[in-house]
Amino acid sequence: MTSAHGVQFGCSLPNMKPRLVSDASGILFRVTELADMHRCCAGARWKPANRHSTACEEQASPNPFSNPDCATTGSRANSSSHPRADVGHATGNNKMARLPYLEADQIAPEYRDMLKRNTNLHKLLVNSPDMARAFNGVGSYIRFNSKLDPRLRELAILQVGWMEKSEYEFTHHVKIGKEFGVSDQDIAGLMAETEGQSSTLEPLARAILKGAREMVRELAMSEATFAEIKKELSDEQMTDLVLTIAFYCAVVRVLATMKIDNEPTYKEVLQQYPIPGVN
C-alpha cells in the first residue's frame, strides 16, 4: 500500500489511515490506534526503513492473539496494586516509552556529549536538549561534586527507588552505588529498615534512610529525623542530602510518566534484588 505522500507500506491493513506527525528526526507516519491493534494482533511489526519512510515487517503467528507484543490483553493492569510497579518493563520488542529514544546522529553535535552514557533515560531526555543539559548538570553535581559522603548519598537514592518501586532507578543505582562503596550488606540493611526491622547499618545511615522514606511518604523530613542527621552533617552536606533526595523523587516521576524502558544489563540486578510487586 502507498500513502498519499509516497510512503510504501509492506502489508495491507483494513481501515488504516496515515496520520502525520513530526519529531526531531524528520517526518514520520503512524497509523490510528485501531490499525496498531490490528497489526499487533495479526503478528506484524513495524520497523523504520530510514528517516523518511516506514516498512512493515510481517511475522508469522499461528494464533493472532498469541503475539506477545500485543498490548491488548490487559495483563499489565493486574500485575500489581502499586501505581508504578509496571513502569520500566518492556515485553519482547514492544518499547513502552512515550517519546522516541534519540541517537547521537539525530541531535545537534553540541548536544551529543549528553549521550556518552547512552542510557534510555538520556536518549529520551535529549528530545529537549537544553532541558536535558540542565537535568544532567544537577545529576552530575550530585554524583561527582557533592560534599555528601558518596556511600550515604547512594543509599538515600536507593531508598527512594525502593520505596517508589522504580525498577529503573533502583537497578541503575545498585550498580552505581557499588562503585561508591555500597555493599550487598548495605542493601540488605536498607530493605530491613524499610520493613521496620533491625539492621547492621550505622546510626547515621539508618537516620538518612529514615529521612528519605519520610520525604517519599510525607513530603518532608520530620523535625526529629532532620535534627538527628544534622548532628553529623554540616549545613552544606545537609543541603546536599535534602536536594539529592528531592531530585531523585523527581527522577522516578520522570521515569514513570515517560515509561522509560530499563536496559537488559540493569534488569539483571532484579535477580539478586527483586522488588516486591515488580515483575
pLDDT tens sequence across 152-184: 999 999 999 999 999 999 999 999 999 999 999
Q: Return the minimum-mean-pLDDT range out of 21-25, 45-49, 73-77, 95-99.
A: 73-77
Q: Is pLDDT above 50 for 138? A: yes
Same domain, 52 and 153: no
Q: Which amino acid is at 129?
A: P
**Euclidean distance between CA atoms 167 and 85, whole angstroms:** 8
Q: What is the pLDDT of residue 95?
A: 65
**How many domains would you assign to the chain?**
2
Q: What is the pLDDT of residue 117?
A: 87
Same domain, 150 and 254: yes
Mean pLDDT to the nearest integer, 258-275? 96
Query: Which one of 36, 57, 73 terminates a domain?
Result: 73
Count of other CB atoms within 10 angstroms of residue 254:
15
Q: What is the pLDDT of residue 7?
A: 42
Q: Is residue 96 part of a domain?
A: no
Q: Is residue 170 part of a domain?
A: yes
Same domain, 153 and 243: yes
Percentage of residues in the chain with pLDDT exceeding 90?
64
Q: Is residue 39 part of a domain?
A: yes
Same domain, 155 and 263: yes
**Euclidean distance between CA atoms 241 and 221, whole angstroms:** 11
Q: What is the pLDDT of residue 94?
A: 56
Same domain, 157 and 248: yes
Same domain, 68 and 150: no
Q: Is residue 218 part of a domain?
A: yes
pTM of the model: 0.68
Q: Is residue 101 part of a domain?
A: no
**CATH number of the structural domain spanning residue 192:** 1.20.1290.10
The CB-side HSE value for 220 (13 A sphere, CA atoms) comes to 5
Q: Closest by alpha carbon to 114, among 124, 158, 197? A: 124
Q: Is residue 233 part of a domain?
A: yes
Q: By residue range, what is the domain housing residue 51? A: 19-73
Q: What is the pLDDT of residue 27?
A: 34
Model confidence pLDDT, tens digit, residues 70-119: 333 333 333 344 544 444 444 344 568 999 999 999 999 999 999 998 99
Measured at the CA of 139, the angle between CA 136 and CA 140, to 5 degrees, comes to: 80
Query: Which one of 40, 56, 73 terminates a domain?
Result: 73
Q: What is the pLDDT of residue 278?
A: 87
Same domain, 43 and 153: no
Same domain, 150 and 267: yes
Model confidence pLDDT, tens digit, residues 184-202: 999 999 999 999 999 999 9
Q: Distances in Å between the alpha carbon of 90 and those of 63, 87, 225, 261?
A: 22, 9, 38, 6
Instruction: Look at 214 and 37; give whichever has higher pLDDT.
Output: 214
Query: Which one of 73, 93, 118 terminates a domain?
Result: 73
